[in-house]
Amino acid sequence: GVATPGMPFWFRPEFVRGIDFQYPIEPVRRAIAKATDEGANAIVLTGHMGLKTRTGGDDFANNVMALTSEFPETAVFIAGHTHQAIPSRMTNGVLLTQADHFGIHAGRVDLVFDRNSKRLLHREAHCELMDNRFHFDHVVISRAKSQLAESEAALAQPIGELAETLRARSQPAHPSDVEKLIGASILESLRGSGVPVDGAMHGVFDEETDVAAGPKTVRDIWNIIPYENYLVTAELSSDEIKMIMEEVYASHEGRNLLGFEMKTEGRGGERRITSMTLANGRPLDRARKYSVAFNTFDSRSGGHRFMKLRALLERPEVNCTLHPLQTRDALIDYFRRHKLVDKIAGAPQLAVAA
């Protein structure tokens, strides 16, 4: 199996120290040669990589086309990462299959060999949707019973109450209610740890689902922030902040900068920032540096989306600092501290809660 070479564009160097995520062609060549020398009758290659969802080709993180073109003797390539259901597809003479993601489908590959010659006669693959036709395996569930109960108890912990429903969908320079809440929790948590910070860039993972008013549990926050991310801060000039946010707007990725107010003109890749102030309306000082927080995923380019941001944060003069605080924990702790949380009226400069 091969890992995606895209890892360094998601993870901070601190998280992958001592691990080299190589372009996979030569490592796979060596592995196939070793397996063949040891008498393998068929080569099945697995990889945390798939086909690009729109074009079906390769990119910085997915090298399926390159691998199947270079090694057409491979019988099967079991793909992943791109969250697609591809039951069976011939790609450069290799049988490709991918069973979607999160266990939504189960995949099966069948290889038929001649018993005498050991020659591969037939190969096929398919994916099965794991719907209500299938029940949990009682052996697995019984063995995991205590861990599942512990997880359920942790997720069910009450943490506070949301006073009114929060809108999830945002627009460039117009953060959603959910983004404002996440930003307020990040700023408050960092400041509470003695870290001076002026703003935080963040987005939401689900713009289609508003966050309903009412009592909240740890599970609700997992639904808002489903992935683990630590926080970094960097010291940036107003021109650098402007460059970062215009790159974000051009990417069409849903992120906003909390703690600042911005006005823009244009659309898509042509959107430009025309004015930028602090949340209290004070103009930015071009001679001053401002401390801005990012989650670790975005700080490493957000998967090749924010390459200018990545390059900027690698420069020593911005003092990019990793903090032992996760974004999800910041939001959970925010509810626990304030108990009743109101909608945040503007870009959060100070924490706002009832």
What pLDDT score does 67 carry? 97
Tokens of 174: 């117009």
d(Cα 81, Cα 64) in Å, to the nearest integer?
Answer: 11
* Topology annotation, domain 7-129: Purple Acid Phosphatase; chain A, domain 2 (3.60.21)
Against a cut of 0.85, is the pTM above it? yes
What pLDDT score does 346 carry? 62
Tokens of 353: 């809660």
What amino acid is encoded at 207 in this protein?
Answer: E
Would you list the domain boundaries of the chain? 7-129, 158-341
Spell out, as residue ranges, where the chain has pLDDT lower than 50: 349-354
What amino acid is encoded at 114 in this protein?
Answer: D
Tokens of 75: 């019988």
Q: Which of 96, 80, 78, 99 is nearest to 88 (CA)?
A: 96
Question: Residue holding tokens 């689902």?
Answer: 209
What pLDDT score does 56 carry? 84
Task: Report angle CA 307, 235, 227 to the nearest 5 degrees.
Answer: 55
Q: Which of 263, 271, 267 is nearest to 246 (CA)?
A: 271
Task: Report angle CA 79, 80, 83 to the nearest 5 degrees.
Answer: 130
Secondary structure of residue 259 in the 3-state scheme: coil
What pLDDT score does 324 carry? 96
Q: Which of 307, 115, 334 is nearest to 218 (CA)?
A: 334
What amino acid is encoded at 54 in this protein?
Answer: R
User: With contact defined as beta carbons under 8 Å apart, do 255 and 229 qualify?
Assistant: no
User: With contact defined as beta carbons under 8 Å apart, do 68 and 93 qualify?
Assistant: yes
Q: Give pLDDT tens digits for 170-211.
A: 999 999 999 999 999 999 999 999 999 999 999 999 999 999
d(Cα 168, Cα 162) in Å, to the nearest integer?
Answer: 14
**How many CA within 13 A on the CB side of residue 124?**
3
What pLDDT score does 290 carry? 98
d(Cα 322, Cα 320) in Å, to the nearest integer?
Answer: 7
CATH superfamily for domain 158-341: 5'-Nucleotidase, C-terminal domain (3.90.780.10)
